[in-house]
Amino acid sequence: MMTEVDPATMFKSVAAYLSWDHDRLDALLDTVRSRVYNAEWPAARRDYDEFARGLKRHIRLEEDILFPIVERVAPKGHTLAMRDEHTRIRGVLGTLHDAVRSGNEAAFRSALAVLLSVLRGHNEKEEDVLYPADQSLPETERAALLRRLRSE
């Protein structure tokens, strides 16, 4: 009998784990988009809820756990910009939620365009600038950080 492996336990760096989570969330959002465009509203609502929970968790992990550590080794301006974008992302999530709940495809498309425009650049900046900062931490601290991110 084969046991299922949690992919989150396979990562050796914060960058790899959080980049994987970006990809996972992008795939969930693609599923939601497909469900909405095919008027599969019950499935769209279920999948949207999973996406929104996952994205809110991802943001919380960054703001509460990662950013304070990164701010010790990188300019604080980077994390301030990311926090501002997180605020914008949270606002768009509310608009998307309302559109999915009401079955309003036009409102969903409009809010999705805003979300995607923010996320594209946002994720790139995190992956290129912030996430690699974990490499400047001592190995034991980096490993503890990764364990904490995965467990929260």
Give pLDDT, residue 9.
Answer: 59
Question: Running along the chain, 152 residues long, what does each successive block of 10 average in pLDDT?
Answer: 52 89 97 98 98 98 92 82 96 98 98 96 90 84 89 88
Instruction: Decide if 137 contacts 73 (C-beta within 8 A).
Output: yes
* Phi, psi (degrees; rounded to nearest 5) at 75: -60, 135
pLDDT value at residue 129: 84
- Structural domains for the chain: 11-151 (1.20.120.290)
Cβ neighbours of 20 (radius 10 Å): 14
Distances in whole angstroms, Cα of residue 102 to Cα of each of 31, 41, 46, 65, 111: 18, 9, 13, 35, 14
- 110-137 residues labelled b (16+ CB within 10 A) or e (exposed): ebbeebeeebeebbeebeebbbebbeeb
pLDDT for position 112: 98
Q: What angle do CA 20, 51, 122 make, to 5 degrees?
A: 55
How far apart, in whole angstroms, are the C-alpha atoms of residue 82 and residue 126? 8
Give the pLDDT of residue 78.
Answer: 84
Q: What pLDDT does 6 receive? A: 55
Question: What's the pLDDT score for residue 7?
Answer: 55
pTM above 0.95, yes or no: no
How far apart are the C-alpha atoms of 151 and 36, rounded to whole Å?
32
What is the model's pLDDT at position 1? 43
